[in-house]
Structure formats: C-alpha cells, structure tokens
Structure 1
Amino acid sequence: MRLHCLDITAFGPFGTTQKVDFDELSAAGLFLLHGPTGAGKTSVLDAVCYALYGAVPGARQSGQGLTLRSDHAAPATRTEVRLELTVAGRRLEITRQPPWARPKKRGTGTTTEKAQSRLREYEGPAGAWKDLSRSHQEVGEEITQLLGMSREQFCQVVLLPQGDFARFLRADAEARGKLLGRLFDTHRFAEVEKRLTERRRAAETEVRDGDAALLADAHRMQQAAGDIAEMALPDLAPGDPGLAETVLAWAAVARGTARERLTLAHSAVSAAESAQAAADRVLDDVREVARLQRRFTEARERATRLEERSDSHQEARTRMERGRKAEAVAPALDLRDVGEAEHRRASTAEAHARAALPASFADAGAPGLAAAARRAAEELGGLASARRAEARLGELTEERAGLDRQERADEDVLQDAESWLGTWETTRAAHQACIETAQEAATRAEQLAVRRDPARARLRAARERDRFAKDTDDAHERALASRAHATDTRAHWLDLKEQRLKGIAAELAAGLVDGDPCAVCGATEHPAPARKIAGHVGREAEEQALAVHQRAGEKATEDERRLGVVREALAAASAEAGDTPTDRLAEQEAELEREYGGARAAASGLHTARERLAHAELEHGRRVAARQKAELRAAARLSHRDTLDRERTLLEEELTRARGAAESVAARAAQLERRAALLTRAADAVRAAEDAAQRLKDADARLADAAFRAGFSTPQAAADALLDDAAHRDLQRRLDAWQSEEAAVRAVLAEADTAAAAQRPAADPRAAEQSAETAARRLRDAASAQDAAARRCAELDRLSARATTSVRRLGPLREEHDRVARMAGLAAGTSAENERRMRLESYVLAARLEQVAAAATARLRRMSSGRYTLVHSDDRAGRGRSGLGLHVVDAWTGRERDTATLSGGETFFASLALALGLADVVTDEAGGVRLDTLFIDEGFGSLDDQTLDEVLDVLDSLRERDRSVGIVSHVADLRRRVHAQLEVVKGRTGSVVRQRGVQD
C-alpha cells in the first residue's frame, strides 16, 4: 500500500481544505511530520485512517460523526476526507463525508445530512476515474479485503503508536495476549477452548443426568421392594465411583428375595382355596336343609288358612253362578236403557224447538211445520239481488270516506311542503357558510402546522443550548485545571531530570569495579569516583515524575477533547436556536399549539357541514316531488267522486223497495233465515220424539221375555244379579287363587324330601356362613399377598432392565466425557499434563510472539550497536500461565532480563524495533500485502544523538524494501536531519499544513 495524496476539508483542527502530497514526501524515503502540540499532527493520521475505514484510531473513535467536524469551518463547508492510494496494483480514490449539520436552505436552523462514501478506481488505458461504489458497507469490505487488515491491525502496523509498544514491553502476559489476539485474530482458538469446555460441561451433565436417572430407578426399586430386601441401598450420589455396579448388585438381591416371597404366596393361596371350597360345601348343605324345613312349615300354615276361608269361598262360587245367568238378560237391559235415554233426549229437544216458535205453531204437527219452513225459504231466495246491492252501497260509502281522508292528507302535505320550501334559501346559505368557515380553519391549521415543527425544533435546540452552555463552562474549568496541572508536573519532571543529569556521574561510579574498564573513559583504575550528594535524584524518581506528567498530559488532552465536543454541540444548538431566550421560544411554541388546536377543532366540522348540506338538498328535492304528486292526486279525485255519487243514488232506490219495514235488506234476510231454521228444527224434533217412543215400547217387551227365560221373576232381579267387569274379574281372581293355593299346598305336603327334612333337627345356617366367610377372607388375603408379590417382581424386573439399559448407555458417555475433559483441560491449561499451564490461544500467540521477537531483533541490534536481542520466553510467571514472556539479552553482561528493566531511551528503540518487526509479521499474516508507507508517532525526544543516528539509519534502511517512513515528532533536532517535511501550523482560524520536499 502506497499513499499518494490526501485532501482534508473541515476536519479536526483544519477549517479549510488542506492538501498533502505523499508522493513528494516519500521521494526521500524518510519524511518528518512536525508542529507544535495541539496543531493537528495526529489529525493527519486520523484522516488517513478515517478515509480507509470510516473511523479514527484508538480512543479517538468514540464520538465520531459530527464531532469530527472542525470548529473553525464555515457553516456551509462540508467535512470531507479524500485519499488517493495504490494497493494490490490498483490506484483508488476514497472519499468520506461524516454526518453534517448544515444550515437549512429555507428558514433558520440546521438539518442533518447522512454520511456519504465513494470509491473510484483509475483506469490507465482510458485515463479517467471509474466509480465503483457509494455504499459504506461495500467500500469498507473492498478496502479491508485489499489491505487484508482490520482497522485495529492497520493502526498498529501502519500508524505505529510508540506508547502502546512501550507498554507492551512492560506489560504482563495477559495484556500482551489481548494485543496480539487483536492483531493476529486468534479468537478462533479461544472459541476452540470455549467449545471444548462447553462439550465437557455437556458431557458431564449427560453423565450426571444418567447417574441421577440410575439412582432414581434404584430408589424406585427400593420403594417397590419394601421391607423384603435383606440389605439397605447404599447412600450414593451422581458421579460416585462404582455407582452402576452397586445398583445392579443390589437389584439382583432384591429380585431374588421377591421371587422367594412370590413362591410362598402361591402356596398360601392354594391352601386357602381348598379350605374355602370345603366351607362352601358345608354351607350349601345346611342352607338346603333349612330351606326344606321352612318350606314344610309354610305349607302347613297355608293349609290351615284355607280351611278358615272355606265359607267365603262357597259364597263367591254361588254369586259367580247367578252372574253367569244374568249375562243372558244383559243385552235386553242395555237395549231398554238406550231406548229410554233416546226418548228423554227427543222429548226435551221437541219442547225446546216448540218454545222458540210463535204461538200459532204450538200444536202444529211435523207436516205443517215443514210446509211453513219451505215458504220462508222461497221468500229468502228473492232477496239475493237486494243483498248484493246493499253490500255495494257499503263499499261506495267506504270508498267515498277514503277519498275524503286522502284529500285531507294531501292538504297537509301541500301545507308542510310550502312551509319548508319557503325557508330553503336561508337554510342553504347557512350550510354553505359553515362549510366555508371550516375550509378556512383547515387552511389555517395547515399553515400553523408548517410553523409548529420549526418552533419545536428551535425550542428543543434552545434547551440543549442552555444545557451545553453550563457544560461548556464546567468543561472549560476542568480543562484549565488539567492544563495547569500538566504544566506543573512537566516542570517538576524537568527539574528532577536536570538534577539527575547533574549527579549522573555518581550513578556511573556506583557500577565501577577495580580492574574493569570504565564505560565512559575505558580506564581500569578509578582513583576518585564521584559520590552521591544529599538529595540525589535517581532514575526511579525521574521515571515516577515522568509517569505522573504523562498521566496529567493524557488527562489534559482528554479534558480538551471533551471541551471541544461540548463547544461543538453548543455551537450547533446555538446555530439552530439563535439568540432568542428559551422562555420566549417556549411561549411562542405554546401559542402556536393553542392556535393550531383551535384551527384543527374548527376544521374538524367540515365533513359534517358538507353532509348536512347534502342532506338538506335531498330533502328539498323530496319536498318538491311530494308537492307535485299531491296536486296530481287532487285533480284525479274530483272526477272519481262524481262517479261514486251517481252509482250510490241508484242503489239506494233499489234497496228502499227490497227491505220493506226492516231496517235493511240484511235485517230482512236475517229474519227469514231465522224463521226457516226454527220451523225446520221443530219439524225434525217432532218426528224424532215419535220414533223414540215406539222404540222404547219394543225394548220393554223384549226385556220381560228374556228375564223369564233366564229364571228371574222380574227384570229388576236379573239386573241386580248382573256383575260388572271389575266385580266379575275380582270374583274370578279369588276363586282361581283359592284353587291354586289348595293345589300348591297339597303338592308341597306330598314331597318326600321336604317331609324327610321336617323330621330332622333344626338347621343353623349362621354358623356355617361365618365359617365360610372366614375361609373366603383368608383366601382374599392370600390372593392379595400373591398379587402384591407378583407386582413387586414385575416392577423390580422392569426397573432392573431399565437400570441395565442405562448402565450400558452410560458406558460410552463416560468414555466420551473422560476424553473431552482431558482435551478441554489441555486446551485451557488446567490439566496436570500441561506442565507450563499454557492455553491453546496462548500457545498460538507465543509462536507469533516468537516470530515478532526474531523480526524485531534484526533491527534492535543495529539500533543498540549489537548490544540487545529480544527473545521469547515461555516460562511461567509466578502462579500464572506461561507462553507470552518477552526478555532482552544484554550482550555486554551476557544475561537475560525482563524488558521492563530497559531505560527510557532503550525502551523507545526496543519498542520501535518491536513495532517494525510486528508490522512485518502482520503483513505476512495478512497475505503479503506490501506496506509502502509507514508512520511512527513520537518517542524520539528520549534518544541521545548517537542512538538517534542509529535509529534513523534503521528507518532509512526501510527504503531497501521500497518503503517510505513518516516520523511524527516535535523534536527540533529532527528538522535538521530529515529534509522532507510536513509542518502543521496552528492559528486562531484553524491549522494549515506546509510541505517541503527533497528538492526544496
């Protein structure tokens, strides 16, 4: 990767567009990026990283977006970073624009535009740029794929942060592991460790679950066995050794004991069944004797009762014989009763019919009454035409009344329509006015809605402005305090450094040994070595003061950054809210809300007003149509009424002739119908009474003859002897019961076995029943015991089979658990087989660290004049894990020591060598992508002139691999040694860059 050109606009401290030509700077292979503190040297590197990855390095990546924008930029200037580079043989141009709060084109305030990215490629044959993508995600994926490095790796390899590698030299194994893990992406090995741990836990859970299930089955077997087991189940827990063997052995003993109990239960049931059968036979014999004895006794008692009822039985037989004789007279008696009833009914009907006739027909016979009825019917037939005329007259009257009702209804319709239509114009004007008022309110509500959102935004921005103003004051005070503290700590450190330099001879003299050459002059005699004076300042005190100063500087930088963030937010809020007080903006916004609510309420009635006007127009049309129809009906009624009046006059004349003295023809017809009906009914009643009297006389003669032939002196005697069905059935039932009872008693008394049982002593069934019940109870108890024993055996067999299956299934699971647990312990470094307690990820990182140490040593030897060599160590540190140790071998002493013992200058060039070596290894790891441009940020101020020359020689040697190195430093001596320079100059209106190439 080689950088060609960088354009920065409104980014960081640069308020205007600044251009950096890396081709010119890289011509010498080594160039210097310098400027005063806070001018923006690191911001140039931030812009390179932001162009490539859309984010800035390290701690600066928090709070991107609007915070990347320069406070010195004009409001209409958009923040933009454009980088032109060559990577993998392709010349690309990347343009990045973070989110931007630009001024609104209309009105006041600002609006935020989204971030934008663009990637172009230069096509040599065409001599033009070709657009590749404008998607943030696609641009990021393309650059990451071409570079083969993530943003963290790029910031660690290309933008070499010296402070990070100095801490890396002094860090423990855990901190080194985190950094190397980010650079070499060894998280997959950590995932392997995690996966093995999860598999071990899963296998352990399966084994424990299997043991728990096996123990549960064992406890169920213990419950099923009850008290038959000769030995108790041992107290075991899941995971205990020998669990399966113990459970299976105990189950075998329980099954054997249960089968012995089942055999004993079978024998007990057989004995109980034999005893119950014998008791049942004895009980059956006793019950049979007792039954026969009771049967004989009951038969003797029944015979005695029959003798006592013999008289009543004879009387019933006599009565039954007289009833049978009377049955021959019964038809004549029934016929006489029917004739008498018919005669009474006919006489009564004749009397009622004659009572309804006029007195002139009181003694008339049936023929006279029939003749009078015929005459009335003939007169009634002559009134049929008159009755139809009378019915028609009624219809004409009702129709005439209907016309009058219609006329009155039409008059009401006409009057109502005229009244409603008279106010139509006023009503329509009122509805139209309501519609226009609602439309004006809707227009007003739309206008207020357009003004409401900006008012809300300004009020919200004003409140943020007030809050940010307070936060700005607080941040400014903290920044001033941090800056003053940093200045004090720097002065204190410089004082201590100066004091130490004054007494440095005493430190050197402390290491002199007689006979050994002096490190300064080479003499082997030391006649007057310098002595430490009171208040001598040592290296530890100086380093402690330097550490305090560095922490104070970092805190001051962080407070300055926070102040810038708050000021940028305050400026954005002030630009949107303006100078209007917040209270005044709140009042304006509330007033707009009230006006908007009122307009919305008024506009909500527009739809209702339109519906009311539509309904009124429909009603107007209906009223007009109703008035027209009523006028047409009135004209038609006049001619119809005249026709009805003429027909009515003709009918009334005809009816006057037909009804005579009656009120109406219908009344006259009713009189004739009633007379004809009465005469006809009377004639029929007279004839029916004469017929009934003759039939009664014939029935009396037949009854007297039938009673004489049946042997009765009078018909009444025959009637008294006659039995009804109920009495006959009762007598027959009593006679049949007597006969059946007599036959049954004789049969029982004639039975031989019954008579023989009566001669035996009285039987005692209760004692036999008790013996049988005792035998049955013993059989039930024995059967229950047998069933319980059988169920116990079956349950123990089932549980034992399931336990055996569980043991067989657990065998492979235990083997897998042991194998996975061994592998997980080795990978996690907790196993005893892992002597150095090295995790899998640490092992991989140790190999990478060994490569880095070898690559760094090649440059460290040149920088230290062959004195120092970096070596990797996998020794354990205390009780921790091993694998990521880093030592330095001092060729002067021949000893290997920890890198934390290096001095400040030694730490710098050791960390620089480590950074360059790490860059080579990460580059190879990333697929061999060429890194033609590198940056080294600060750290040169701690070197003396000779060491500085050696370091610059090493950096200059990087040109052998066609690399260019940019040094970021404010050390004044470097300006004389490095000719190609990029100077960042800060000012009140923002920073600018000044570039000087080799030819300058």
Structure 2
Amino acid sequence: MRPVKLIMSAFGSYAGVEEIDFTKMQHGLFLITGDTGAGKTTIFDAITYALYDRTSGGSRDGNMMRSQYANDGTDTFVEYVFSYRDKEYTVRRNPEYMRMGKRKKADGTPRLVKETAKVSLILPDGSEYQGKKKEIDHKIEEIIGLDVDQFTQIAMIAQGDFLKLLHAESRERKRIFSRIFQTRIYWQVQEELKEQAKQLYIRLQDNIKDCIREMERVETVPESGEASVWADYLTMKLPPADGVMDTLKEICCQGKTKEAEAEKLSYELQKQSEELNASIRSGEEVNRLFLLLGQAEEKQRSLDAEKEKMEEQRRQVEDGARAEKVSVRETQLERTKAEGKRLVQQIADTREWIEEQSKSAVSEESVLKAAGEELQKSEPLLQKQIIRLRDILPRYAQIWKLEKEYAGNLKKMEAVLEECRLASEDYEEKYRLFFAEQAGILAKKLTAGEPCPVCGSTEHPKKAGISGKAPEQKDVEKAKEKRDKIEKERSLIQEKFQQAKSRLESEKKLFEEEAIEIQGSTELSEEQVKEKLAGCETELSLIKSNYQKQEKKFRELMEELKRRGGLLESREKQLEELNMKQKEEEEYFYQELKNQKFDSYESYQQARAWMEGRDAKEALLKQYDAQTVEVRTRLEMLRQQTEGKEKTDLSSEKEKLDEVQAAQKVQRKNVLSLHSLNQKNRQAKTKLNQYFEARGTLTSQYEMVNHLNRTANGMLNGSVKLDFETYVQRKYFKQIIHAANRRLSKMTSNEFILQCREIKDLSSQGQAGLDLDVYHLVNDSVRDVKTLSGGESFMASLSMALGLADIVQNTAGAISLETMFVDEGFGSLDDSARERAIQILQELAGEKGLVGIISHVNELKEQIDWKLAVTKTEQGSHAEWVLQ
C-alpha cells in the first residue's frame, strides 16, 4: 500500500482543507518535522482513520477529531488516495459530529445540526463500491490484507508501544501475540479441554452422589414387604443395580393401587363442595357490591377535601419547571468557574516544581558524570584481570588430567617391561634346549668310517645323546613371535609414556609462568584464583550498578521535567480556552433567564425553591387527577349494579361448606401425598437406570480427556509450564527475533543480539515460554532485556518492530506494504547509534519504497533531505514538502 494523496478537512489540528501530495516523494526516507502538538502524528491518524475508522493510537475515535480551529461552515472529513499492486483506490470518510446549522431557531438562538458518519470507496475503474458502512470497511480491509491492529503494528513504529513489547513478561507477550497472530484458537482448545475434564470429573462424582441421593428419595409403604429390603439396600455403599431396580419396580406397583383408591373418595367430596360454593358465591357477590359502593363514596369525599391544596401545588410545579431550565445554565457556569480556579492552582504548583527540580538536575548530572568516569577508569583493568583469572582456572583440571594420564602410562610401562623380560627368558631357554637336542639327533645317524657332517671326522668315540624333553621347532618359533609382539607393544607404550610426560611438564611450566604474572610466585591454589575472580567480578558489578542507578535517576528526572513542561503549556492553553468558555456560558445563562420570562434574578431565585421535589409533586398531581376520574366512574357503575338488590346472610351455608372442605382437605392431602410418593419413586427408578448405565462411559472419557488437558495446559509433573498456545507462539517469536537481529546487529556493531530463552532454562513457576534475553557477542554473556539503556532499548525495540512487521506481513499472506512511519524515539540515541539506525531505515526504504520518520530531533533535519514540515499557528496547522 503506497500513499498518493491525503486531504484533511477540519481534522485534528488542521483547521481548513489540507492536501499532502505524496507523489512528490517518489522513493526513500523522509522526515515529518514540527513543534510538539503541531499535528505530525495526526497525518498518520488521518490515514488510519480513513482506512479503519480508528486513529493509530486507538485512544480517539473519528468523532473526537473535529478541529477546534475549524469554522462552522467547514466540513470534517478525510480523503485518502492510495495505490495497491498498481491499482489506485480513494477512500473518503467523515465522523458523526455536531456543527452549527446555517439557519437559526425561531427565537434567534443558534441551531446545532448532527452530521452523520459516512464512508465511500472509489475502485480503480472509477466506480463507487456499493454497500453499507460495515460492508465498505470489510472491503477496505480485504484490499489491504490487514486488520487495524496489524496495520498499526507494522505501518506505524511507535517507541512507547514497542518498549512495552520489549520489556513485557511472558504472560503479556502471550496476550499481544494472541491478538496479532490470532492464536486464540489454541487457547480455546486448552480451555475446552480443561472445561471438559472438569465437567467429566464433576459428572463422575455427581453420578455416584446421584445414585445414593435417588435411592434415599424413594419412600415405601410401611406395611409392605419391600420396606425392609429397601432399608437394607440403603445401608450399602453401592448396592447391586439389578436388585435395586427389581425392588423399586414392585414398590411403584403397590403405590399406584393405593393412589387410585384415595382419588375416588376425594372426587365425591369435591362434588359436594362445588354445589355449596356456587350458592355462597352468588350471595357474596351482591354483598361485595354494596361494600364497594360505600368505599367509593368515602373516597369521593376525601378527594373533594384536597382539591384546593392540589391546585396550589400545580402552580408551584409550573414555576419550578421554568426555574430548572435556567438552573442548568447556572450550574454549568459554576462548574466552569471552579475548573478555572483549579487550573490556576495547578499551573502555579507545576511552575514551582519545575524550578526546584531544574536545580536538582544540575547536581544529579555531576554525580552521574563522576560515576561514569569511575566506570571508564576501572572497567578495563578489572576486565583484564578477570579474563586472566578465568583463563588459568581450566589449567588445574588439565594438569590433574595429565598427571593421571602420566601415572597410568607409567604403570603400563612397568607391566610391559616385566612381560618382555619373561617372554625373552622363555624364548632363550627353549632355543637352548632345542639346539642341544639337535646334536643328539645328528649323532644317532653317524656310522663308523663315515665322516661327521659337522666336524668331518670318521671316528665317533663319544656320540651326543637324546634327552626326549627338548621343545619342538614350532614351539621355539611361537616363543619368538610372542617375544617380538610384546617388544613391539613395549615400544608403543614407551612412546605414549614419553609423550604424556612431555605434555605434563609443558603444562606445568605454562601454569607457573601465568601464576608468577598473577601474584609473583608459582604457589597459587585453585581456591585463591576463585577468590580473586569473585572479588574482581563483585567490584566491577558494584561500579556498573552505581553508574546505571545514577544514569536511570538522572534520565527519569529529565523525562519528568520535559513531561511537566508540556503539561504546563497544555494547562495554560486550557485555562485560556476555559476563560472564553466562561464568558460564553454567562451570556447563555442571562439569555435563558430572559427566555423563561423571569424579570429579575431575585424572582428566579424565589422560583428555584419549587424545583426541589418537583417530580414528586407532578407524580402526586397525576395520581390525584387519575383517582378523581376513577372514583367518579366507579360510583356511577356501582349505583347501577346495586339498584333493586339487598344484602344476604350466608352463615349456615358457610358452616356446612367448612365441614365438607375440611374432610376434602384431609383426603386431598392424602391423595397428594400418595401421588407425590409414587411420582418421586417413578422418577427415581428412571434416573437410577440412567445413572447405572452412564458410569462406565464417564470413567473412560474422563481418563482420556484429563490427560489431554494436562498436556495442553502445561500441567505435567516435572515439566515447564508451557501451554499449547505459547508453544505455537514461540515459532512466531523466534521468527520475529531472527528478523530483528538482522538489523540490530548492524545498529549495535555486533555488540549484542536478542534471543528467545531456551525451554531448558525456563522457570517451572508461572507462565513461561516467551521470555526475552540479550546475548552479548563480545563477552559471551546473557542478561535480561530490561537491563538495556534508553538508547539500547530504542534500537532493540525498533528492530523488534521491524522484525514483527516482516513476520506479520508474511503471516497475513504476503501483503504489499510499501510505506512505513516511525514515531519518535531518536532523542535517546547518541550520534553513532542514530547514524546506524538511519542507515537501517534507509535500507528499509529501499525495500518498502517510503519510510517516514515523525520526530522533532534537530540532528535528523541535517541527515534527511526530504522533509514534510508541519507548522503550528493560532488558526491551525499546515504541512508542506521541503527539500534541503
């Protein structure tokens, strides 16, 4: 969606018809600048109102936006022309408001005319969309692809709103995301499962109670045989269903028979009573007419006696009615005077506070400067010492590991040397025995006269013998192989031993060098290092905490001074308007005094005495008049009805009727008792049958639904309290953070980024899952996002807002939003941070088309060429494009 033209008429601070042509700004970044209250944000309010019948903040409806500077003849409306996907649309909307009519009343007083709310939509083909207001609003939302909440989230980046999102608790983010990403359906699933589990449990418990209660309701005939059986069932915790139902069936049959017999006797007594009643009613009717006639005549005499008094009250009511019309004007005038006195006192109090706190601000700034210098001086030295201590700590574990490795290799070395010695001795012994045995074998083959193959002699006086215990050649070879194998193993173990020894000596040497640098000697224990590290970290933390505390205190004081200054200006303007209003109301009061035909203020004051209780007097007069007409009509009718009739004595007939009715009452009570007993027993029989059948089904349903409920609502034992809706929202939250970090890393020069707290680090108490931390890339530390400074918070909130805008646009179906506005917040940034923020927005303008910054920060005026300057005058505001 790209703005083409915006026309505001008598809207907000714009008194006349104000036209802003956005086609002059084809592409890039522009600044909406002007004094506080000039109407910068009103431009975006007008766009939002034209599209959605709401302002961007949502605090003011369109009917509250009529300009106080507007002339009576100027209409209030907003006309907005925009292009969407290369198609141009025009929306014109005006609120419901009261304006002065062109003609006056008959008595010359001004006449107010109500202007009804209207909206029209011109489509790209030039035709007007036909439909009622609700249908046109829905069509506009369908064209843009966003509802008003999504539009104000991604098209208007307001610092205050996104600081709320940045610093919100997990519970609050859940509520915000529920509205933006429409995840309420997952919460509804949770609630539905919770409610179902609760209801099933209640129903299961109620089923047991209902069975017992229904059995207790059953009444038996005392003389019947089933009474004792039923009494036994009532003592059981859960009696057998079949036995209960069979016994109850027989109880119902017996009750039905007794009820029929009682109804027959009751009918006979009823017939006698009706005959006597008819005779008595006829005589009583005549007697009643004579009684009413006497009462009416008495009432007529009473009304005649009050006639003169009622006429006097009628005159007082008329005088009080005229005085009440004047009193309305007088009361309004008094309220306005009292409000003026209150404003004067508030203005004086505010000025006094500003003067006192301005002096305090100078002192607080000096304290903050001293704390900053202390931090700047001490932090580098302490950070250097902390890094050195953290580096040496792992060496203790490394040396212990190397010593353990060296000892193990030494033990292996000693063992393998012993094995080598034994294997070598075994081989040499077997070789010696085998070699000696070979001489005996050769001597056995010698023959006299034949030369010896060894010495060549033909005589063999002493031949070598064969012992029979020498090893074979294959045994000698195996012993040799075993010796060679162990020798090879020894060589490898000896090499590892030398390497472990070398590494241990090297590590100890490095440790001693670092220990000497830290405290001048090699005697440095691990406990000493930890104590030194804790001391340095504590000292650094205290220095930082002191600076942050002083910085926060100074910032809050300056913000409050700024707020009170704006409040003072607003109240002074309000007092000026109130004085004008008081003058007008005085004129209205004296005009009304004249209209009500009071010749003096004193005569009006006398008539005011009759205002009190006027409604009661009017009601009394109406009642008197109505009673007069009613009594007169009743007298005439009763005289006609009693003409030619006399009173009658009915005492004997009434005595006889009393006797019959007494007997009838006893019998009717008996019938009702039996009917009630039988009805109750039949109902119990039906319900008990239903309850016995329902119990098994309820049990299986409850077990299944309760497990789903505990899972969806994050109530499983030993798990994080992460419910279904929050689990879904984490997906959107991580996407938002990822999109935000792409810009935040550039703004902060890769100093820190945002990250969603991992599930394993979440608290098991309370709602969690959408917690936000700050990860510092430089020192690999994590802290809460609420610890960010004002400038850091703005950059983080701006990045979050842009990230949210990206995700909402993708979620809403890849809508095309080519324009974005950023409202304030740059005043908290230093020059470098502001430069990076502007660079990000310039890149964003390359992506979106147009990005407007609403701000009064002077430095931005020098950095941004195109400006939409809003000028505030006593006759209203004006806006015009300015190219630097």
Tell me the TM-score normalized by structure 2: 0.57
The within-5 A match list for 1:633-672 is none
- Say if 2:691 is the partner of 1:806: yes
Over the aligned positions, Cα root-mean-square deviation in angstroms equals 4.6
The within-5 A match list for 1:373-392 is none
Partner of 2:532: none
User: Which has the larger Rg?
Assistant: 1
Q: Distance in 2 between matches of 1:532 and 1:198?
A: 49
Partner of 1:416: none
Q: 1:853 aligns with which of 737, 744, 747?
A: 737
Provide the aligned length of Structure 1 versus Structure 2.
581
Partner of 1:540: 549
Q: Secondary structure at the match of 1:993?
A: strand
Kindly indicate whether the alpha-carbon contact (under 8 Å) linking 1:149 and 1:926 is maintained by their aligned counterparts in 2: yes
Q: Distance in 2 between matches of 1:533 and 1:250?
A: 76
Partner of 1:55: 54
Change (3 A) 1:535 1:819: closer
Moved more, 3-12 or 223-232: 223-232
Task: Give the deviation of 1:168 after TM superposition.
Answer: 2.0
Q: Distance in 1 between matches of 2:385 and 2:729?
A: 42
Q: Distance in 2 between matches of 1:917 and 1:898?
A: 20
- Say if 2:20 is the partner of 1:13: no
Partner of 2:185: 188
Change (3 A) 1:505 1:145: same
Q: Secondary structure at the match of 2:91?
A: strand
- Say if 2:754 is the partner of 1:870: yes
Change (3 A) 1:251 1:138: closer
Change (3 A) 1:69 1:193: same
Kindly indicate whether the alpha-carbon contact (under 8 Å) linking 2:12 and 2:67 is maintained by their aligned counterparts in 1: yes
Change (3 A) 1:80 1:515: closer
Partner of 1:582: 589
Kindly indicate whether the alpha-carbon contact (under 8 Å) linking 2:820 and 2:851 is maintained by their aligned counterparts in 1: yes
Task: Give the deviation of 1:839 after TM superposition.
Answer: 2.4
Q: Distance in 2 between matches of 1:817 and 1:184?
A: 32
Partner of 2:342: 474
Q: Secondary structure at the match of 1:922?
A: helix
Q: 1:974 aligns with which of 860, 871, 877?
A: 860
Task: Give the deviation of 1:910 after TM superposition.
Answer: 0.8
Task: Give the deviation of 1:138 after TM superposition.
Answer: 3.1
Alpha-carbon displacement from aligned partner over 1:877-933 (angstroms, at most 9, x marks no partner): 462121111112110111222211212211111111000000111111222111111
Alpha-carbon displacement from aligned partner over 1:230-264 (angstroms, at most 9, x marks no partner): 978569xxxxxxxxxx51359869999x99xxxxx
Partner of 1:36: 35
The within-5 A match list for 1:517-596 is 538-547=547-556, 550=559, 580=587, 582-589=589-596
Q: Distance in 1 between matches of 2:362 and 2:146?
A: 40
Q: Distance in 1 between matches of 2:131 and 2:684?
A: 70
Kindly indicate whether the alpha-carbon contact (under 8 Å) linking 2:721 and 2:765 is maintained by their aligned counterparts in 1: no
Task: Give the deviation of 1:38 after TM superposition.
Answer: 2.3
Paired amino acid for 1:150: D
Kindly indicate whether the alpha-carbon contact (under 8 Å) linking 2:8 and 2:77 is maintained by their aligned counterparts in 1: yes
Q: Secondary structure at the match of 2:853?
A: strand
Paired amino acid for 1:840: F
Partner of 1:99: 96
Q: 1:953 aligns with which of 836, 839, 856?
A: 839
Kindly indicate whether the alpha-carbon contact (under 8 Å) linking 1:468 and 1:566 is maintained by their aligned counterparts in 2: no
Q: Distance in 2 between matches of 1:567 and 1:818?
A: 71
Partner of 1:510: 378
Q: 2:723 aligns with which of 821, 831, 839?
A: 839
Change (3 A) 1:231 1:957: same
Kindly indicate whether the alpha-carbon contact (under 8 Å) linking 2:120 and 2:136 is maintained by their aligned counterparts in 1: yes
Task: Give the deviation of 1:955 after TM superposition.
Answer: 0.9
Q: Secondary structure at the match of 1:845?
A: helix
- Say if 2:880 is the partner of 1:994: yes
Task: Give the deviation of 1:973 after TM superposition.
Answer: 1.1
Q: Distance in 2 between matches of 1:843 and 1:475?
A: 52
Q: Distance in 1 between matches of 2:569 and 2:364?
A: 27
Q: Distance in 2 between matches of 1:904 and 1:69?
A: 36
Change (3 A) 1:52 1:505: same
Q: Secondary structure at the match of 2:239?
A: helix
Task: Give the deviation of 1:800 after TM superposition.
Answer: 8.7
Task: Give the deviation of 1:979 after TM superposition.
Answer: 0.8
Alpha-carbon displacement from aligned partner over 1:528-567 (angstroms, at most 9, x marks no partner): xx99999997222332443455467667768977998998
Q: Secondary structure at the match of 1:991?
A: strand
Q: Distance in 2 between matches of 1:870 and 1:457?
A: 65
- Say if 2:85 is the partner of 1:114: no
Change (3 A) 1:986 1:159: same
Q: 1:892 aligns with which of 771, 778, 786?
A: 778
Kindly indicate whether the alpha-carbon contact (under 8 Å) linking 2:10 and 2:76 is maintained by their aligned counterparts in 1: yes
Partner of 1:216: 213
Partner of 1:369: none
Q: Distance in 2 between matches of 1:893 and 1:184?
A: 35
Alpha-carbon displacement from aligned partner over 1:799-847 (angstroms, at most 9, x marks no partner): 89974652232211222233233323333333438x2212222222222
Change (3 A) 1:799 1:540: same
- Say if 2:66 is the partner of 1:69: yes
Alpha-carbon displacement from aligned partner over 1:507-536 (angstroms, at most 9, x marks no partner): 1233223683999xxxxx99xxx9999999
Task: Give the deviation of 1:95 after TM superposition.
Answer: 2.0
Change (3 A) 1:904 1:534: closer
Q: Secondary structure at the match of 1:516?
A: helix
Task: Give the deviation of 1:99 after TM superposition.
Answer: 3.0
Kindly indicate whether the alpha-carbon contact (under 8 Å) linking 2:754 and 2:773 is maintained by their aligned counterparts in 1: yes
Partner of 2:657: none
Alpha-carbon displacement from aligned partner over 1:707-732 (angstroms, at most 9, x marks no partner): xxxxxxxxxxxxxxxxxxxxxxxxxx
Change (3 A) 1:99 1:551: farther
Residue identity (%): 24
Paired amino acid for 2:548: R
Change (3 A) 1:556 1:56: farther
Q: Distance in 2 between matches of 1:559 and 1:137?
A: 42
- Say if 2:773 is the partner of 1:905: no
Partner of 1:46: 45
Q: Distance in 1 between matches of 2:339 and 2:750?
A: 55
Q: Secondary structure at the match of 2:238?
A: helix
Q: Secondary structure at the match of 2:80?
A: strand
Q: Secondary structure at the match of 1:144?
A: helix
Change (3 A) 1:146 1:488: farther
Change (3 A) 1:798 1:93: closer
Q: Distance in 2 between matches of 1:496 and 1:879?
A: 39
Q: Distance in 2 between matches of 1:481 and 1:148?
A: 50
Q: Distance in 1 between matches of 2:233 and 2:136?
A: 75
Q: Distance in 2 between matches of 1:152 and 1:88?
A: 22
Kindly indicate whether the alpha-carbon contact (under 8 Å) linking 2:325 and 2:592 is maintained by their aligned counterparts in 1: no
Change (3 A) 1:467 1:96: farther
Task: Give the deviation of 1:188 after TM superposition.
Answer: 2.6
Q: Distance in 2 between matches of 1:167 and 1:982?
A: 29
Task: Give the deviation of 1:96 after TM superposition.
Answer: 2.4
The within-5 A match list for 1:539-938 is 539-547=548-556, 550=559, 580=587, 582-589=589-596, 803=688, 806-832=691-717, 835-873=719-757, 874=759, 875-877=761-763, 879-938=765-824
Change (3 A) 1:960 1:820: same
Change (3 A) 1:933 1:491: farther
Change (3 A) 1:974 1:77: same
The within-5 A match list for 1:141-220 is 141-219=138-216
Partner of 2:284: none
Change (3 A) 1:515 1:69: closer
- Gapped runs of 5+ residues in structure 1? 236-245, 260-452, 520-524, 595-791
Task: Give the deviation of 1:214 after TM superposition.
Answer: 1.0
Partner of 2:238: 247
Q: Secondary structure at the match of 2:750?
A: coil
Change (3 A) 1:845 1:75: same
Kindly indicate whether the alpha-carbon contact (under 8 Å) linking 1:459 and 1:589 is maintained by their aligned counterparts in 2: no
Q: Secondary structure at the match of 1:15?
A: strand
Q: Distance in 1 between matches of 2:715 and 2:374?
A: 49
